[in-house]
Amino acid sequence: MMKLITRLVVVFLIQLKAVEGQKLDHNLHQVKIRKEKLQDYDRIIGPVEYRERRVLSVTFSLSITRLVYADTKKQTLTLEAWEVKAWNDEYLKWKPKNFGGVGRTIFAPDEIWVPDIMLYNSANSPDSLNNLPTKHVTNVYVKNSGDCLWFTPKTYTSNCMMNVKYWPIDEQVCTLTFGSWTYFDHEMKIEPLTLTENDTDTVLPSNGEWEIKSIKYVTGKTDHSNCCDGNYSTISYHITIARKPAHLLFYLTPPSVILGILTLMSFFIPTESGERIVL
């Protein structure tokens, strides 16, 4: 019995060593891939072709996770969302057979070229446009084909013109427009994950006062009011939010009714009574 247990322990240790060796080899190959790809890499130029006029396609998606606040006084909308960008970088390709079969690795966003797609109508100060609020800096997944995928959690505060004429049953439509500050539309084109305009989420978030009714997106172009020599590719998200009237009616109606009743009751109190003065 002891011999059997000893043999099982030996087999287990051998397998454990083999697994650890495979993990070590895998990590070493990833180190080699990163070292080779970054050796002569220019993260400023990246995969954008300036001379051949080949348009770099960047797939963009926005998944809203939380409706933080709709400020009707400041005319702003604050959201939390996952921002997804995907593109192909031919300078990051490799053959897995040359690196132990490793077909995927990661790079930090400050190591390689990443799209400078930002919120155009941000309510933040101009000084912060180059560093919009990011909850956490995430790495970029890169496949051996050069396909890059980057998930980033963001908090956005955008300008939004609101009309409270029909308060408290009003609906507002806020638009978030994203685009590049550097690359013209003949250099980089923003494309959605799907080819048709549609709702981007099946479960739409809400808060105590507002709920998101629908989210539509559309791609387009802008020339930034003729500031430059060309157009920039854009994607705009039209977000319809509706106020929850029950929230306001619950807090406003009972006090108003009580005050109205007290006011009417004051007329039935004799004028010489001190209680009427208190009311």
| CA dist 276 → 141, 258, 268 (Å) | 74, 16, 9
Q: How far apart are CA 35 and CA 59, in angstroms?
A: 27
Q: What single-letter amino acid sits at 119?
A: L
Residue 140 binned pLDDT confidence (cut-offs 50, 70, 90): very high
Q: What is the mean pLDDT of the chain?
A: 79
Please compute the mean of the pLDDT values over residues 87-102 and round it to a whole number: 91
Q: What angle do CA 208, 135, 30 make, to 5 degrees?
A: 140
Domain 56-250 coded CATH 3.30.420.40: no
**What's the pLDDT tens digit per position in 210-254?**
889 999 999 999 887 777 778 899 999 999 988 887 666 666 667
- For 256-270, the pLDDT digits (tens) are 777 777 777 666 666
- pTM exceeds 0.85, yes or no: no
Q: At residue 44, does pLDDT exceed 50?
A: yes
